[in-house]
Structure 1
């Protein structure tokens, strides 16, 4: 067809019919080319839509991604002579190859500056950091691709620390901007922190005793301790939580997360192990100081000889101390028994063994307080023993001792467990009935009167009078006692042998 057109165009004489044929063929060629272009475009677009992530990457042009790192966090990542080196650098080369991405380093002076840059959009991603609630405000995160423990380091002689809870009053050094700062502030607000520009600077200050404990990543701390030849710095514990490191992407470039995850999932496990072994190859050199060993041996021998020479004296001292301890124990036991006896005597009557006046007043005040708070009433019973041949003179204490004991026994056998019985004075006994109305207390008083008057020691020689009353609103103990005493006097006026109730 094209040869025909060329032949026609080169002919010096064109007839009208030839021009007509040429126009027809040109229209056919234009339609044919347009159809071919549409077919090819539709085929390519359909292939892209049907392709998986791997095939779509082939159709997507390479994207340049700016990034910032921690410039002083070797071996995880660092900047040396303007070049990004470390574990994150090797992972980024693998990810760039798998996802067809082009990474461009934006140099910074510190980790804090890197965080500020990515937040401001001066760099799109940070390749190696932990997630935190604060960072999630301005970053999207990929899946983690490297995990490492954090450790506590301190001067030699510091005991092993069980995480942050074992730090106590020690000051903790930590790199400014690290996730651990946010973690400690939230979960251990009582710890004193000192912020460092880098782990290396923090270890130097720790060696100079400017603070007590340093928090850092295991591999980084190990490397700095050996490079700086810090012989008196030791790892004394682990610091929770461990690092779970991932890419942090500025939220304005969140579409990069899927590409990064796509590449991370396709990194072979063998390559991960190879990278870890390469950067975890830390050599620890030991040096023996025989001078210290010899001096230590001499000191130990001198100490041993001194211990042997003093052994007999120490044994004698121990025997004396044991003897004194036994004497002290015996005295303490005696004192404890005396205190118990004193406590009993301070609250009990010596003749009857009942509670005394002071204890009864205290219990009555408690019952009044309970009544004022909860409106639970109480009743008071006064029993008085009088000699049948009373001529106005008091009987001798020795002649009353046995009858008083009998009354005390009868009271204890008659009242309830909740009731409080006391010898209030001379021949007067008081029974406090907590949470008891006057009706129930009257039954108890009648039963008590019967038991006392029926005893053979009391029947012929003594008379018994009982007065009782129920606690009233806003009444003090003195008022309550006075009303009950009036009831007692009324019982006496009626010839004893009866129970009178105060109005």
Structure 2
């Protein structure tokens, strides 16, 4: 029997699999060293080695619960890696739907949920790690529809959506005219579009691409990006702050090579090869028929795949442009408030994790209202543009410069001590004072400088810099003040 199986493997099964183009899924097998934890974290790991987790049971390629009740998908591979670096055992709590998984996290049946988008409502109940999976959210309609530049072009049409997904909160807030129809699974939302029951649906680019192909819904296509992205994180019950700290460290330590291997593995179609050799001969005998059918199907799908590829390329370009626009100040072309908020949060987290020092400078144009009153708003706009150009030329490539609001600007200076930041601010103050701006002439700017400290959050840091800016204003303007 053994020789027969070896013969089947060598001369029939492997050549047939090559002919069919089926790839064996390799997974991520590299062993990773455990992380260093505080005494409190280490004690928690020893006392709570088994951690119950919940997942979305039907959200491939991100994650699912397979027919044998096992956790599968991208998040399953990530949690294998998290288990290695934390020495924790993650035990799946079976659920029937995403709603049930979220409810289990709320009532304590599970301690964390593997993939979840952060919203204001959810933040009342859960702590969230940094994102470890991200993708655009796209619009899907029948192939007779043309390109759509976001949900603002959607009008009053109907939209299918999985019950409990966070998109509903966003759409009801941002696009109340859209009529939402709820379904239990992502497959059902796509099938509803295909049958004409609803006009369209939205979903993660990875998800809808895999499901359209798997379901054979050749009359569907991606018609454009939405205004949203999936920024998927681990959600941890607020009753488990130490577990949240442990998982935050695990997410921050993800190895880039393992990260790429997991994503590249799951964005492809996965085939599982069984070990029941009693069925192999029967399968081999009908393989020729399968090849003929696949050949016919290949002809049908070639055009569709080409259109899908073109739509994907266009979507990527549109998404990149949308990301640039959403993070750029329209007047001055420097970073806007949104990008500054994101960067400030990132720098604070890096300081907490790695003790990476950085400084913050807030600056404000002195008597800017007089400029608008005397020369008019077009002259005020030109002053802001020219001032931003001057400041950008004086800063390092690593400094983050953006418009905080009105005539107030912020500079984040990574790897910069307070003394170095004061020197930078003073250099800028002199350069601005000595420059003649058309048609306004000479202006002055006041500066507030501070450096990150233990216990700082974003609000505390900005508040200190603001306090120093107000001090500079009250002491006569055109000066640099620091704490």
Q: TM-score range by the shorter chain?
A: 0.3 to 0.5
Look at both structures and tell me which one has the larger radius of gyration over its CA atoms. 1
